Amino acid sequence: MAEQRSQTNLSELAPGLLVAMPQLVDPNFNRSVVLLIKANEEGALGVVINRCANVSLREFLGYQELEYKGPAEIEVNLGGPVEQDSHLLVLHGEEPVFGEESDDEWMLADGVRLITAHDGLAALAERGAGRLRCYVGYAGWAPGQLEWELSEGAWVPLPCEAGLVFDEPTDRIWELALRRAGLDPVALVPGGAVN
């Protein structure tokens, strides 16, 4: 019964945010905030929203022969340790690109849409979308792995907020997310390490 309750709670977390607690020492997730896209008994999938790849979105899209007409300061992010060389996920807070019913675009939360199709990214680049974030790679958990990490206190779940995804400086997202969870990052003391 407890196992089923854990699975139900996990599925209720997605889409939502996971904020790493200090005891999560894995370098891929230390001080990270993950937008959890999908979670069920088969595992979980998300993107780290606060790790810069040190490449501007304009430069990155230039490699793909797309001209980005939006703000120059937007950078590409490392979405996680899995498939950083080949997997691209795009979050945006703009009007739908493909319409309301599409297999290539999903509403994750109010003001947060996910696109996986290259055509969608091209349309957003042409629009000059400012509420746009691109992530290379993603985070994934095997069945039971995220449940265990949650039970060890490695993550604090939060509802997804478009403002945190699009409007805050990347290097401040972790601190701001903890504060929204009612925690003071300065007062947190790392406990036993969780990898």
Given this model, what pLDDT does residue 4 score?
37
Is the pLDDT score of 185 beyond 50? yes
Overall average pLDDT of the 82-90 stretch: 85
How far is 71 from 99, CA to CA, in rounded Å? 24
Overall average pLDDT of the 137-161 stretch: 93
The CATH class for the domain spanning 2-180 reads alpha beta
Mean pLDDT of the chain: 87
Is the pLDDT score of 141 beyond 90? yes
Confidence of residue 189 (pLDDT cuts 50, 70, 90): low
Tell me, yes or no, if the pTM score tops 0.75: yes
Given this model, what pLDDT does residue 191 score?
56
Could you tell me how far CA 58 lies from the centroid of its own chain? 20
Given this model, what pLDDT does residue 192 score?
52
Domain ranges of the chain: 2-180
Q: Quick one: what percent of the chain has pLDDT higher than 70? A: 91
3-state secondary structure of 170: helix
